[in-house]
Amino acid sequence: MTKMRTTYIGELKTEAIHLKSGSKVITEAPEDNNGKGQKFSPTDLFATSLGSCMLTIMGISAQAHGFSIEGTRVEVEKIMAANPRRVSEIKLEIHLPRKDYTDKEMRLIESAIKTCPVANSIHPDIVKTISYHLPE
């Protein structure tokens, strides 16, 4: 069990604390909803957590199977919808650092992406668009 605490600190900002480690995250309302856009918004964190989860599960799988994904990055784009205001789509561009992954390694990477806990927790109405990019 993991516990966190989130406190409203004013000016449309919150501070979330991971109680075990003391690590902190500050959020702010986005520009399109009365914020300044100077920090992650709660929905930014929601979308970003999907990319972070995918990378984490990819790393666990790669480590278990003796290869590396170090340097892999995910660029995340969050698309909002109205009525009700919600995240309607998350676009993820996965940039792999090498182009010589074996077929087995690519299957493991793709499986990790599809099975991360955040992906499995997102409502099925939210579109997840995933593309892969290898170095030239």
Q: What is the mean pLDDT of residues 64-92?
A: 96
b/e 27-50 (16+ beta carbons within 10 angstroms → b): bbbbeeeebeeebbbebbebbbbb
Cis amide leading into 42 (omega within 30): no
The residues, ordered by sequence, that sit 6+ positions from 19 with a Cβ below 8 Å of its Cβ are 3, 4, 5
pLDDT score recorded for residue 136? 80
Q: pLDDT at residue 78 above 90?
A: yes
Q: HSE on the CB side for 32, CA within 13 Å?
A: 10
C-beta of residue 92 within 8 angstroms of C-beta of residue 74: yes
Mean confidence (pLDDT) of the chain: 95
| pLDDT tens sequence across 94-111 | 999 998 999 999 999 999
pLDDT tens digit sequence for 5-25: 999 999 999 999 999 999 999
